[in-house]
Amino acid sequence: MTADTITRSHDVNVEEVTAAYLRELAEQVHKVDSAALSQIAVRVVDTLAAGATVFVAGNGGSASTSGHFVCDVLNTCRLVGMAHARIVGLADNVATITALANDEGFEDVFAAQLQMQARPNDLLLILSVSGNSENLLRASVRAREMDLGVVAALGNAGRVLAHCDHWIETGAGDYGLAEDLHMSLAHIVIRVLNGGRPRVLPDGSRSSIAARPSEEEVCVAASAVLSPAAVDGPADTGAARDGPAYDSASVAGLAT
């Protein structure tokens, strides 16, 4: 690539790109199977509440998302008084990742950690746009061998799908859209842990934000987006394997 071929902001209409991205993100939100997404959220919350461990794994941008997921969920558990909540990001420790990659191979960096730390009834949450990463596939297989539950937020129904209890496919193959929607799973879990309510800035800290919607307005808007009536027939679905039955009604029960 030379200086002449590098795209600069004046080469494209940035406002059009921005508007198009937000429009496509909104379209993908309407295609999300909210029941399948709820099932994953229930598995995460129930595992934490039972004192078992949630392990989160992803590569690249999804590794970053998994770290963000762990941070937000763990902090929320602290705030709501959930003692001894256990959630671990398998990509968070660079030293561990590089040691295992050097000694065992990158394909086993997640499976090896599960082998050492996981117990039956723990949960593996996979975040992946491709759904085909070898290290995630091996982690899902190892999790099954150890009697862990496996759930996944994917951008493509790849090979890991065969080992999942519940899964959701989002973003229509677009990395940015898929990763944005995967992060929404963490924020849904946070709301469930918080009794169904959003976490917002203290009143004094948001006084400079013009026309900020009320909490009730936010909840109404979110319900409208995620209601089955707002979906033009779910294009992306979650499949369930044999095992405990989880449904979207359970999420409402957890908020009471």
pLDDT higher than 50, residue 207: no
Place 216 in a pLDDT band, splitting at 50, 70 and 90. low
Comparing 40-44, 175-179, 198-202, the range with the smallest average pLDDT is: 198-202
pLDDT higher than 60, residue 201: yes
Compute the average pLDDT of residues 65-93.
93
Compute the average pLDDT of residues 15-43.
93
DSSP lists the bridge partners of residue 225 as: none
C-beta of residue 91 within 8 angstroms of C-beta of residue 67: yes
Place 47 in a pLDDT band, splitting at 50, 70 and 90. very high
Domains within the chain, CATH numbers bracketed = 29-240 (3.40.50.10490)
- pLDDT the model gives residue 203: 67
pLDDT higher than 90, residue 68: yes
- pLDDT the model gives residue 210: 42
- pLDDT the model gives residue 250: 41
Place 42 in a pLDDT band, splitting at 50, 70 and 90. very high
pTM for the model stands at 0.77
- 167: Cβ–Cβ under 8 A, 6 or more apart, which residues? 36, 40, 151, 152, 153, 154, 157, 161, 238, 239
Q: How far is 179 from 103, CA to CA, in rounded Å? A: 30
Place 200 in a pLDDT band, splitting at 50, 70 and 90. confident
- pLDDT the model gives residue 238: 47
- pLDDT the model gives residue 6: 62
